[in-house]
Amino acid sequence: MDKLSKYYTDKNQQRSTAMVLAITESVAKLFYDMGIGEHEELKIKIMFSQLSPGTEKTVMSTIASTLSPTTFGAVHTALTFNNAVVDWNASALCKPRQWGSTNAILAVDVATIPKGEIPALITKLSEIIVDWNSNMSYNNLTTNCQAFVEDVLKRINLKLPDLHGGDTLGPLFQELKKHGKIDFSYTVPKVVKTLIKECGVTTETAKMLLETDEVKFKSHEQLDQVVCLIIDLIPSYFNASDKGIEEHMLLKAYDRAFWARYLKSMDVLKDSAVTLEKIQQIKESDFYIGEAKEKALKRFPPEEQVEKKIKDAEIAQELGKPCSIKCFFEDPRGKTMIGVSTRLPSAKQ
């Protein structure tokens, strides 16, 4: 209740929320309400999101002052279970929610759980969440988001993937740990450049790859176009060698981050539109007069704040929007996209 008083002024809301987040069965119900029990398998990922400038500065100075670096540096981590996300933040409360983040930069595979093992996993996960909600407070260095992720994985008998080795992922995670962000870069394989020339591919994507040794993806659509061109030229490229497999992990991690931004931005835009509509209704209503109208409007954030949220979400949506007919990694929600295939028409087209 003490934690909730900072976020909810209504005592009834505090009690109802406390009951949900402190009872294993109630937390488990949140997962099942998102359809987890109906899935054929449960894909678990660790998602990394860039911190806001103010938060990043605070965390970095705390780390520097104590000389006690976190596992991944100044970056937020969360675990995703298909379309559900669990994490730990300054609210010191974990409440499972729909998958998505407008600041996501990577989402890396951890494990896949078969359908028969999902109920037991959800029960155990819910017990861990209740334990943290009931007994833990937030601390930048000890009980932070990364400590939460590591504890959850340990208690459900899973391990963090090795993200610091290899020629592709190693440098990326060193950059992440040092700066708290990445530039979505990818080194263009020499064999791809050679085949583009030999096959006479003249698409804009092919021209771009010939002009640079390193691509810095500016959008989800650009990522999809590059991946699908490589697959079209060399169908087995991403599973024929350790290097190809590692590059596949990297590009899929980028892809899932872009998807997270896209899906979250759609939710934000929808919710923000509803908020603005309600604000407008109160302003135009004859039911609210004087102080009553002011009081009713205080239940919502300022319009300027909502409009900024919409603008930021529109940017995230544009960056995260997939290429509608060429998404090699497909929709993480399991939905079929019209025209999506793991095989493109000829790269020469």
pLDDT value at residue 338: 35
For residue 231, give the H/E element and its range: helix 220-233
Task: Check residue 341 and give its pLDDT.
Answer: 34
Task: Check residue 142 and give its pLDDT.
Answer: 86
- pLDDT for the residue 52: 65
11/120 Cα distance (integer angstroms): 33
Within the chain, all domains assigned CATH 3.90.1720 are found at 4-155
Q: pTM to 2 decimals?
A: 0.77
The per-residue pLDDT for 54 is: 52
Reported CATH class of domain 4-155: alpha beta
- In this predicted structure, what is the pLDDT of residue 269? 95
User: What's the Cα-to-Cα distance from 232 to each of 90, 188, 323, 332, rounded to whole Å?
Assistant: 46, 15, 16, 22
The continuous run of DSSP H or E covering 85 comes out as strand 84-86
> What pLDDT does residue 70 have?
58
The whole-number mean pLDDT for each consecutive block of 10 residues of the chain, a chain of 349 residues, reads: 48 60 91 90 92 52 43 84 92 89 88 94 96 91 90 92 74 81 91 95 95 94 94 92 90 92 92 94 87 89 93 92 78 53 33
Please tell me the predicted confidence (pLDDT) of residue 12. 52
Query: Given this model, what pLDDT does residue 15 score?
Result: 57
Structure tokens at 105: 């930069």
State residue 160's pLDDT score. Answer: 80
CA distances from 286 to 186, 273, 283, 296 (A): 58, 22, 8, 13
Instruction: State the pLDDT at residue 235.
Output: 93
- Give just the sign of the alpha carbon dihedral 218, 110, 327, 168: positive
Please provide the DSSP assignment of 304-343 as one string. HHHHHHHHHHHHHHHHHPPPTT--TT--TTSPPPTT--SS
Using alpha carbons only, what angle is made at residue 135 by residues 124 and 24, rounded to the nearest 5 degrees? 30
What is the structure's pLDDT at 62?
A: 42
The C-alpha angle 59, 20, 128, rounded to 5 degrees, equals 55
Helix (H, G, I), strand (E, B) or coil at 195: helix
* Residue 101, CB-side half-sphere exposure with 13 Å CA sphere: 25
CB 155 within 8 A of CB 126: no
